[in-house]
Amino acid sequence: MPGRVHSYETMGALDGPGLRLVVFLQGCPLRCRYCHNPDTWTADGGKDTDVAEIVRRLLRLQPYFGRRGGLTLSGGEPLRQPEFCGELLRECRRLGVHSALDTGGGVWDEACREVIDLADLVILDIKAADRAAWQALTGRNAFAALTGMLAHLRRTSHPVWIRQVVAEGLNDRPEDMLKMLGLVRDLRLERLELLPYHDLARGKWERLGLPYAADDLKPPRPETLAKLRKVIADNRGDADATTTTPDAGTTE
């Protein structure tokens, strides 16, 4: 069955190990205030695309993947299209290509579970560590989806990268990091990234006629980020707490 694809990034270097084909899927149930891709929200945008079309792209790029690179399914929320994602991830297994699923954790059911189990790596944007903050940031009452997903990842010891956007005045205190560490405790955590908030998506919101919802947020100061990294390192000896500046990426 075809999936609804928003865009692609070829040779993406941020969304998983090595160089990757990143497929941004259309549709997302969340409305994160700082969303970079509000144009992926509606289910009817993007373009109908067959699995075979993505496999063709994958095969063209496979020589550049090396041992670590591969396919990343992102969005939007890829788990909104579980059957399509499942088919793509099975193709990755057949071809021996590493696969990653980049999710906001806003949907969770049996179909999502099957998709996650097929991905070699789950990249989870944690957003906020408690129900009230998560709901305020995402505009949705779906924190139980995130905790359901985390429980499954814990049970299956699935490799996970955690991402946390950090903004001044939102979640830039040491206690915010400790709360986040509590939420991701006992995961098979391969990487934990703090992503400094920025407002590069403001223009996209305006072009869509949407009032930018993160006007009150500011990028964290570099010294604050350094302090938060230290809090993480002190409380998780084995964590690879890196901070990266999100790249808008080259989508086509």
Q: Among 59, 97, 69, 24, which residue's Cα sits nearest to residue 250?
A: 24
Task: Confirm or reject binding of residue 249 to ligand SF4 (CB under 6 A).
Answer: no
How far apart are the C-alpha atoms of 15 and 123, rounded to whole Å? 8
CB of 101 to ligand SF4, least distance (A): 13
91: contact with ligand SF4 by CB under 6 A = no
**From residue 101 to residue 120, what is the string marking binding to ligand SF4 with x (rule CB under 6 A)?**
---x-x--------------
Closest CA to 36 of 159, 195, 168, 182: 195
Interface residue with ligand SF4 among 7, 37, 81, 99 (CB under 6 A) is: 37
Give the C-alpha separation, 149 to 140, whole Å: 16
How far apart CA 106 and CA 144 sit, in angstroms, is 8
User: Is 30 near ligand SF4 (CB under 6 A)?
Assistant: yes
Between residues 89 and 146, which has the closer beta carbon with respect to ligand SF4? 146
- Interacting residue with ligand SF4 among 17, 46, 75, 86 (CB under 6 A): 75
Instruction: State which of residues 32, 92, 122, 124 lies at the interface with ligand SF4 (CB under 6 A).
Output: 32
Locate 11 and state its tokens.
């040779």
Give, as one character, the DSSP assignment of residue 218: B
**Of 17, 70, 76, 220, which one interacts with ligand SF4 (CB under 6 A)?**
76
The helix or strand, by DSSP H or E, that contains position 164, with its residue range, turns out to be: strand 159-166
Nearest approach in angstroms of CB 40 to ligand SF4 is 5
**CB of 36 vs ligand SF4, minimal distance in Å:** 6
At a CB cut-off of 8 Å and minimum separation 6, what does 51 contact?
A: 2, 3, 84, 87, 88, 91
Parallel, antiparallel, or unpaired for β 70-75 and 98-103?
parallel
Residue pair 183/232 in contact (Cβ under 8 Å)? The answer is no
Minimum CB separation of residue 51 from ligand SF4 in Å reads 22
Residue 109 · residue 2 · CB < 8 Å: no
Stretch that binds ligand SF4, among 34-42, 45-53, 64-72, 178-186 (CB under 6 A): 34-42
The number of residues that bind ligand SF4 (CB under 6 A) is 12
Residues that bind ligand SF4 (CB under 6 A): 28, 30-32, 35, 37, 40, 75-77, 104, 106
